[in-house]
Amino acid sequence: MITLRLSVRFISSSAELNNVIAAHLQDDRLATAAAVFYAHPHHRNTTTWNLLISGYVRRGLPHVAEDLFDHMPQRDIVSWNAILAADRRFGDHFKAFLRFLHMLRLGIRPTGSTLATIIPASPPNAVPQLHSIVVHSGYESNTIICTALVGAYASSGDEPALRRAFEEIPHKNSVSWTAVINGYMQVSHTARARRAFEEMPEKTTVACTALITGYIANGYLAEARQSFDEAVNRNAVTWTAMVAGYLKNGCFVEALCLFFAAPRPNLFTYSAALTAAAGLCSLFCGKSIHARYVKSGLPPDAILVTALVDMYGKCGDADSAATAFGCAASDHASPATVAMWNALIAAMGRNGRAEAAVSMLRRMLSTELEPDSTTFVHVLSACAHAGLVEEGERIFGAMEREFGIKASKEHYGCMVDIYGRAGRKEEAEAVAMAMPAGPDAAAAVAAATAGAFVEVREEMKTGGYALMARVFGERGEWGRVREMKEKMEVTASEERKPRGLSWVLL
């Protein structure tokens, strides 16, 4: 407060006002900078407005920055660059592109910074036009802008154009080489990406990681591992990329073996390893990863805690899942997220603690967090396994009425399962028929447990008919069993593939 009074008293020029605001922003005192800004309307100039806009963008408040931009009496190219960068940073690429077009119609010439910002945010069909603007503006030798063009052409799937854009860069740096490797991988030209990596004068860790992730994205896991083994300077990001690649392809054992060999895993590596342990339902591996994480001294992270709770839940240790959640939720620096609550509710329901799952939902609502669609899937699934019909009905009804979440086929499927397990045939059949796109295979099987039969609109595999036949057989409904077997035979004949033939050349 004393600082603010001194600022108000002694500021007598625009230059002094700008210096004071810049100092406050440098010390991360945005509120004080804003108070000084509004207290001196007569000393403001375009630089003053630009400083405050940039401050709000850095703080993650794009709407406030946009409001300031809209009320500026005069704008310069710095103002436009700041707001375009804000649009791109916060993911509103279409707004950024439209704003850029408006800027051009006002006769404002883009700078190199403008083009470097807007090219990655542009739609694919606009990239060649932006390329022509780059040439006409005299930036065809700018490495940063030309590298952005390489990435933009890759996003549009234009491999010849990205190759030409890269070849025309007069002074290629490591970022340019990494961009072309990423670009080739993005358009599935893995051989050219490998060739570019080998031609790269100085093979950086970032480029090597790009090569590995590119191979994984294109389904070449063996080549990714070979590139990983050949890498000289591997860091935590490189290890994480390879562990995540194994995880993506369901190779949980390989992912864990690689994780335990990692010298300095980061939070993302730990999260991937925990997910692999959950995939194997290996509580021993999960606890080992948890112990290593605790010893590492890394700060708690919402993604990691979510993976930790999920791992304990899938490995059958609901108490440890609740403990891991409780320790993280008590940390005021990183409060519990919706994903963390969802993982805990799922852990309770998966381990037969439906009442606890419902209780967790109530606790979540008391924190003023809004549940999402996944939250209700987990709670309704828990109610189905525990036979909590009335509780499931109440939650299903409140989902759209109180929280504005429209029921999806997963929610309807849970309700069919609830009624099916309770033997309530009419309700199970009615809910199945009320599904938005008609009953699916899972809903049909769930309804069959109550003796109901619903015609599935989607194609059902032979396994689905076999399961329904078994359910009807247990209920002694042999007419339904014969009907399911007939459908099985028809489906099996359609699924059956012709035998392979070999040609023997004499």
Cβ–Cβ < 8 Å for 259, 243? yes
For position 4, what pLDDT does the model report?
45
Rounded to whole angstroms, the Cα distance separating 496 from 288 reads 45
Tokens of 449: 């447990």
Cβ–Cβ < 8 Å for 475, 451? yes
Q: What are the contacts of 391-399 at 24+ separation with CB within 8 A?
A: 391/354, 391/358, 392/418, 393/418, 395/358, 395/361
Rounded to whole angstroms, the Cα distance separating 20 from 17 reads 5
Rounded to whole angstroms, the Cα distance separating 348 from 379 reads 9
User: Alpha carbon of 385 to those of 228, 272, 342, 464: distances in Å?
Assistant: 44, 29, 17, 20
What percent of the chain lies above the pLDDT cut of 90?
A: 72
Q: Could you state, in order of their start, the residue ranges of all structural domains in the chain?
A: 1-108, 459-497
Q: What is the dihedral of CA 11, 16, 19, 23, to 10 degrees?
A: -20
Chain segment 179-215, per-residue pLDDT in tens: 999 999 999 999 999 999 999 999 999 999 999 999 9
Architecture of domain 1-108: Alpha Horseshoe (1.25)
Rounded to whole angstroms, the Cα distance separating 148 from 131 reads 10
- Closest listed residue to residue 407, CA positions, set 351, 454, 416: 416
Element (H, E) at 138: none
Chain segment 357-403, per-residue pLDDT in tens: 999 999 999 988 899 999 999 999 999 989 999 999 999 999 999 99
Query: Mind giving me the DSSP string for 32-66?
Result: HHHHHHHH-GGG--HHHHHHHHHHHHHTT-HHHHH
For position 6, what pLDDT does the model report?
43
Q: Provide the b/e sequence for 471-498 (b: ≥16 CB within 10 Å).
A: bbeeeebeebbebbeebbeebeeeeeee
Looking at per-residue pLDDT, the higher value among 266 and 482 belongs to 266
Tokens of 212: 């590995």
- Closest listed residue to residue 307, CA positions, set 297, 295, 296, 285: 285
Over residues 468-474, the mean pLDDT reads 63
